[in-house]
Structure formats: C-alpha cells, structure tokens
Amino acid sequence: MPSQELTKLADSVISTAGIQLMGLMAVAPLGVEADKAFAELAVIHGAFSANFPNATALSAGMSGDYESAISHGATHIRVGSSILGSRTLAM
C-alpha cells in the first residue's frame, strides 16, 4: 500500500468512534524473501510510528518466518500452524 494511502487509512481509523489504532499488521508477499520484506516493513513502520506514536504494535511473521519478523521489530507474531498443525482448505 502506498504511504499516502496508509496514512489516509490510519486517519480514518483514528477518527472512527470505538476503534483504536494499535499499529500495523503485514504478511510477507509470496515469492519475496521474508527477510527482505520484513526489512522494508521495518522502515515503513518507523515512518508510520513517527506520524502515529500511539500505534506501536507491529504484527508480522508466521510459523515459517517469525524469527526474521522478530529480528526486524515485530511485536506480535502468528504461529498457528506450528501449534495446531497445517490445515487443508475446503473448496
């Protein structure tokens, strides 16, 4: 998402009653090395935090790449398949 759009979305969240902006959540894109994606996310989060100082959370990383996400500043990770196992999607 372009930074202008991210700022616009964040402003919209902040102005909505009953919702609190806590931070950013992202998943490394398919086909992109996780370390590269999370390094870029860290830069985005740094700029975002300068404009939205109360939005400190950075949710990034899943079972296969959480170590890289943590090394780039993730405060929350999602490791469901490591705990619950893989699942097959019904179609």
By residue range, what is the domain housing residue 63? 3-79
pLDDT of residue 25: 95
For the chain, give the percent of residues with pLDDT over 90: 79
What is the number of structural domains in the chain?
Answer: 1
Is 75 a member of any domain?
yes
Is 67 a member of any domain?
yes
Amino acid at 20: Q
Q: In this predicted model, what pLDDT tens digit does every residue of 11-44 receive, in sequence order?
A: 999 999 999 999 999 999 999 999 999 999 999 9
Check pLDDT > 80 for residue 8.
yes
Is 24 a member of any domain?
yes
Which whole number is the average pLDDT over 45-61? 95
| Confidence category of residue 89, pLDDT binned at 50, 70, 90 | confident
| Confidence category of residue 69, pLDDT binned at 50, 70, 90 | very high
d(CA 84, CA 81): 5
The answer to whether 20 touches 57, Cβ cutoff 8 Å, is no
Is 21 a member of any domain?
yes
Is 91 a member of any domain?
no
Is 86 a member of any domain?
no
